[in-house]
Structure 1
Amino acid sequence: MIRRPDHTSDRGMSIALTHVLTIGITTILIAMLLMAGSTMLESETERSTETALETVGERLAGDIGNVDRMANDSDDVSIVSDRPRTVSNSGYTVTTLSAGDCGERAPLLDDSNPCLELEASRADVTVYVPIKVDNGIETGTSVAGGSLEITYTSGVIEIAEADR
């Protein structure tokens, strides 16, 4: 059998090319899955943080309402509201806002009641919770989350970090 010199075989080249293309496509698909997974994890973390801040805010607003009701029967009232220091592995601050500030910052709230602004430090999440009080409340005060002391003296409710 005589072999012709113009006859070449591309078979070895096609196997190597197939392997390179398969590895390249697999790498791209894995990278896309990792990016999509990290985006989903980030959005779930934000959603979890928002839910946790709403829960903390609602309970804190309830404690403020309790102090407000007790203030009608007494001159000085003080309670400690134990709340978690972190939510979703992030610290947070609680700020009391006036009714006008609530209407500007939180468009879903009307400007008839003051509110609490809870802001997470590690996530870009801010939650607003309205407060219903008959007595005055000191606004513009920011405290770190955790054990908070809610006091009523001289007609004003104040929030401060509890001494523990």
Structure 2
Amino acid sequence: MSRNSFLSDRRGVSPAVTQALTIGITSLLVTGLLIGGSQMVDSQRERVTEEALENVGDGIARDLIRLDAFNTESLNSSVSFRATYPERIADQSYNVEVSPDTSRTRLYVNASGLNRYAVVRFENETNVCSSVVSSGPLAVSYNATADCLEVSG
């Protein structure tokens, strides 16, 4: 065999190149799926966390609105509703802050470790005391001494 016949023979290259390209393309596809899947899981976790914070805020707001329906002028003692909310959301504790306003009361539920929060606004007739409480069992009450609705732990 002459030297030129070896240089012009390309038959042995094709299977090796095909296999290398197949492995490379497969690796890229699998890596893309893994990255896309992890981003989807992160997105779902954020959405579930926000929904859970909103659910807690809605529940507390419902209790405040229900308590606001009482005729508090005739009460000479405190009235309260106690509810149990999750201790943690997405493995993080959270805070509930009640902020009274002239037009609507704002209720912030904040999971600072996740940089997520929910805001619930509602109208009320009875004054609302400002308060900040940590997650867990909470009580919504009418404080006859201060003549306001409050949230406590």
Superposition TM-score, scaled by structure 1 size: 0.78
1:7 — aligned with what? Answer: 5
Cα deviation 1:44-87 (Å, max 9, x = unaligned): 11111222222221111111122223361423222212112223
Preserved contact between residue 80 and residue 139 of structure 2 (Cα < 8 Å): yes
Corresponding residue for 1:144?
A: 134
SS of the equivalent of 2:5 reads coil
Could you tell me how far apart the structure 2 residues matched to 1:32 and 1:71 are? 61
Per the alignment, residue 147 of structure 2 pairs with 155
Within 5 Å, which residues of 2 pair with 1:54-73?
54-70=54-70, 72=72, 73=74
What residue in structure 2 maps to residue 86 of structure 1? Answer: 88
Gaps of 5+ in 1: 100-110
8 Å Cα contact 1:116-1:129 kept in structure 2 = yes
5 Å-filtered alignment, 1:120-139, equals 120-139=111-130
Contact between 2:95 and 2:111, CA under 8 Å: does it hold in 1?
A: yes
SS of match in other structure, 2:142: strand
Aligned mates of 1:120, 1:13 — CA distance in 2: 59
Q: Structure 2: which 5+ residue stretches go unaligned?
A: none
CA distance in 1, matches of 2:129, 2:11: 82
State the TM-score, normalized to the length of structure 2: 0.83
What amino acid is the match of 1:147?
Answer: P
CA RMSD of aligned residues (A): 2.0
Alignment check: 8 A CA contact 2:60 2:140 kept = no
Name the structure 2 match of 1:107.
none
- Aligned identity (percent) is 31
The one-letter amino acid of 1:157's match is L
Contact kept, 8 Å, 2:128 with 2:150, in 1: the verdict is yes
